[in-house]
Amino acid sequence: MFSLFVALRYLKAKRSQRVIGFITGIAVLGVAAGVMALVIAMAVNNGFRLTLERSLLGATPHVVLLEKEPEEGIRNWRELTSKLRALPGVVSVTPSLYGQVFLSTPVRAGGAYLKGLSSPSDFAPFLKQGSLDNLGLALGSKLSQSIGAPLNSVITLTSPQGEMTPFGPRPSTFKFRVVAIFETGFYDFDNGYAFTTLKKAQDVLALDDVVSSIELKLADPNDAPEMAREAEAIGGPKLGATHWMEQNRQLLNALRLERTVSIITIGLIQFVAALNILSVLIMIVLEKRRGIAVLMSLGARREQVRTIFIVQGLLIAAAGIVIGLAAGYGISYMAGHYHWIPLDEAIYSMTSVPFEPRWFDALWISAAALLVSLLATLYPARSAAATLPVETLRYE
């Protein structure tokens, strides 16, 4: 309590010590700026990562089993589906068929990926309009807008894998009614995919009873690498398995690298703030040298004197941390809630910069700021504790 009382007294600058008070305020703001910047940077990084993961995990399977060398397709998909369904941690197994098609309406036309699903109900959570009962064709919301195909409109689907004629393959055309519009929140899917039943996709692509992949959804997406190895063992030598982490490795690595770079670069603000704390304490030691000598003459131990200046530095840091956390989390919440920073959805797959502040970040950011500030107090505290009372009182 003695060290805390004296530290608070020293921080309350008199009129003749306004410079010290001014520099102390700058030091507090420096710590606050560093903490606020780190909180906002981590909120943005978390927001991008979590939003992309939610979109990816919602729109894409966690594990995919497919042919290593694309040939005629997976024929024993029913047997494999029953085996994969028995694996622990597997929520659903969906055989599917992919193919590129051309969609046209009286308004305009465009290319798309047609995906045939054995269980269209898996996409029920993303249904925006219509129904998946008696499924004709379900379009992504962006694709529906781009080609002018609203709900219940009739669309012409052209498949390059048409019937064989004496003159070679001839594209086949089909008429479909748009019975559903889905929206996953992932731009690439909403702008490029159309869904139908597996049987209709086989007819469109002129294929037998085969699928191009078997997709697995897991209770815990983080188990995807291990589950991919098990699925590959079940599939046999001709089939291979991949998972969502592997498919999006570059994106996830880029986000991790961005997080590291943000911590390093923005963390430099904390070192600048620490230098301000160092300057403030050195000035206070020089200003209060006579008072320190008096305290030591009255019986204050050197450890107590050292603690006075350490506490001063930590008080400055604590004030800055509180201000920085309040400002950082406040700005993050407001910017995320009101979408302050818009984005091009076609490039970033989201309409605005997402902010996801986490309470855990507040802990390590505060601890780092306190540690840097503590290191900045060591030299001034040691210098104050080394004061010689007799000589100081004699010459000052």
Q: What is the pLDDT of residue 163?
A: 66
pLDDT, tens digit (0-9, with 9 covering 90-100), for 349-364: 677 889 999 999 999 9
Q: What is the pLDDT of residue 167?
A: 60
pLDDT, tens digit (0-9, with 9 covering 90-100), for 192-216: 999 999 999 999 988 889 999 999 9
CB 35 within 8 A of CB 318: no
Across 277-305, average pLDDT: 84
pLDDT, tens digit (0-9, with 9 covering 90-100), for 287-298: 888 888 888 888
CB 191 within 8 A of CB 138: no
CA-to-CA dists, residue 391 to 293, 328, 371, 387, 388, angstroms: 9, 48, 34, 9, 6
Q: pLDDT band at 183, cuts 50/70/90?
A: confident
Q: What is the pLDDT of residue 396?
A: 59
The answer, yes or no, to whether residue 40 has pLDDT greater than 90, is yes
Q: What is the pLDDT of residue 15?
A: 46
- Percentage of the chain beyond pLDDT 70 is 93
Q: pLDDT band at 60, cuts 50/70/90?
A: confident
Across 229-244, average pLDDT: 92
The answer, yes or no, to whether residue 48 has pLDDT greater than 90, is no
Q: In degrees, to the nearest 5, what angle opens at C-alpha 249 toward C-alphas 243 and 254?
A: 155
Across 250-266, average pLDDT: 86
Phi and psi, residue 392, nearest 5°: -65, -45
CB 114 within 8 A of CB 197: no
The answer, yes or no, to whether residue 84 has pLDDT greater than 70, is yes
CB 389 within 8 A of CB 293: yes
The answer, yes or no, to whether residue 390 has pLDDT greater than 70, is no
To 10 degrees, what angle do helices 359-385 and 249-287 make?
A: 30
Q: What is the pLDDT of residue 259?
A: 86
Q: What is the pLDDT of residue 372?
A: 92
Q: How far is CA 46 from the centre of its chain?
A: 3
Q: What is the pLDDT of residue 310?
A: 92
Q: What is the pLDDT of residue 101?
A: 93
Across 177-185, average pLDDT: 89
Q: pLDDT band at 166, cuts 50/70/90?
A: low
CA-to-CA dists, residue 241 to 44, 90, 92, 233, 237, angstroms: 32, 15, 16, 9, 11
The answer, yes or no, to whether residue 141 has pLDDT greater than 50, is yes
- Percentage of the chain beyond pLDDT 90 is 48
Query: Mean pLDDT of all residues in the chain?
Result: 87
Phi and psi, residue 5, nearest 5°: -60, -45
* Residue of higher predicted confidence among 184 and 29: 29
Q: What is the pLDDT of residue 199?
A: 92
Q: pLDDT band at 52, cuts 50/70/90?
A: confident
Question: Which residues are paired to 242 by β-bridges?
Answer: 64
